[in-house]
Amino acid sequence: MKKENLYRPFEVDFKVLEHFPKVTRSNNFFELIYIVDGTGVQFINKNKFNYRKGNLFLLTPQDTHSFEINTVTKFFFLRFNEYYVQGSASKDKAMIQRMEYILQNASHRPGCILKNKVDKPLIANLVESIIQEQTNQQIYCDTIITQIVNTIITIVARNIALKLPKNIKENTGETVLEILHYIQENIFDPKKLRAENLGRHFGISLSYLGRYFKKQTGDTLQQYISMYKIRLIEMRLLHSDMRINEIVNELNFADESHLNKIFKKYKGLSPTEYKKQFC
């Protein structure tokens, strides 16, 4: 596997390709890939997604990915690292932590990152503006490109934030964001997600933990863990070839019946029915 590094806070690139390099890649930085035109398939980790014009993909550090091009594709690449995030947040510690948290939580979500419809034409215009600035190379073009890049990354963060718990706001306490991150990091290890272990890890009493989490997020701990698992199941049903029993084992359900019951409770369909309807 090819490992790529980034030696500047950010860089932009534009390529027209008939064939994508066969090497599966893993980055030590964030990478936004916008499809200006063309069709094909994106492979990320164990998932795949049919791409088309207007799709925007976010790769987080350590994701593995490649593309299979069906029709000639115009790619726009924006690569940036945590130093850029920290610098662009004007040294606001809370903003830095929030941005890093949101971007890191793009993991497990293959496919187009744009969930907010009004942002799709906005991103298209911003990408076109960067391409024009790079081509024309007029005075202050570097400054203008930097400002546009910051806007794009902020829009991406907003779209990811739309998938966070409903009560998460800009002023949400740091501790609950750390709890959410911990849950997502350990979603495959149910022992670490027990309330007593969470309380011990964060130094919060068991009696207070549930009330605090509910107040900050609008969900109980169990509701959030269940919903996060449901999102992971959805992604595997839609974008992978995993069988139900494999998902059961990965997410530590008791058996297929248990998974079916939980999934139907939240989605109104069994996993099999969901896959038939949406694939």
Output 55 or 235, whichever has higher pLDDT: 55
Stretch 199-226: mean pLDDT, rounded? 91
Stretch 71-92: mean pLDDT, rounded? 76
Here the tokens at position 154 are 């902020």
pLDDT of residue 108: 46
Q: What is the mean pLDDT of the chain?
A: 82
Q: Which domains does the chain have, with CATH numbers?
A: 2-161 (2.60.120.280), 174-278 (1.10.10.60)
Q: 227: phi > 0 → left, psi -120 to 50 → alpha, else beta; which?
A: alpha
Stretch 59-76: mean pLDDT, rounded? 87
Stretch 92-110: mean pLDDT, rounded? 56
Is residue 221's pLDDT more than 90?
yes
Angle between helices 195-202 and 174-185 (to 10 degrees): 130
pLDDT of residue 37: 96
Output 53 or 160, whichever has higher pLDDT: 53
pLDDT of residue 17: 94
Give per-residue pLDDT as tens, 158-204: 777 656 666 665 455 668 877 887 887 788 899 999 999 999 999 99
How far apart (Å, rounded) are the C-alpha atoms in residues 28 and 80? 10
Is residue 98's pLDDT more than 60?
no
How far apart (Å, rounded) are the C-alpha atoms in residues 122 and 102? 20
Q: Place 82 in a pLDDT band, splitting at 50, 70 and 90.
A: low
Q: Which of 79-93, 149-163, 167-181, 257-271 has the lowest mean pLDDT?
A: 79-93
Enumerate residues 6+ apart whose C-beta is below 8 A from 47: 110, 111, 235, 236, 239, 240
Query: What string of H, E and C letters represents the secondary structure of the chain?
Result: CEEECCCCCEEEEEEEECCCCCCCEEECCEEEEEEEEEEEEEEECCEEEEECCCCEEEECCCCEEEEEEEEEEEEEEEEECHHHHHHHCCCCHHHHHHHHHHHHCCCCCCCCCCCCCCHHHHHHHHHHHHHHHHHHCCCCHHHHHHHHHHHHHHHHHHHHHCCCCCCCCCCCCHHHHHHHHHHHHCCCCHHHHCHHHHHHHHCCCHHHHHHHHHHHHCCCHHHHHHHHHHHHHHHHHHHCCCCHHHHHHHCCCCCHHHHHHHHHHHHCCCHHHHHHHHC
Give per-residue pLDDT as tens, 119-162: 899 999 999 999 999 999 999 999 999 899 989 988 887 777 65
Using only C-alpha atoms, the chain has a radius of gyration, in whole angstroms, of: 20
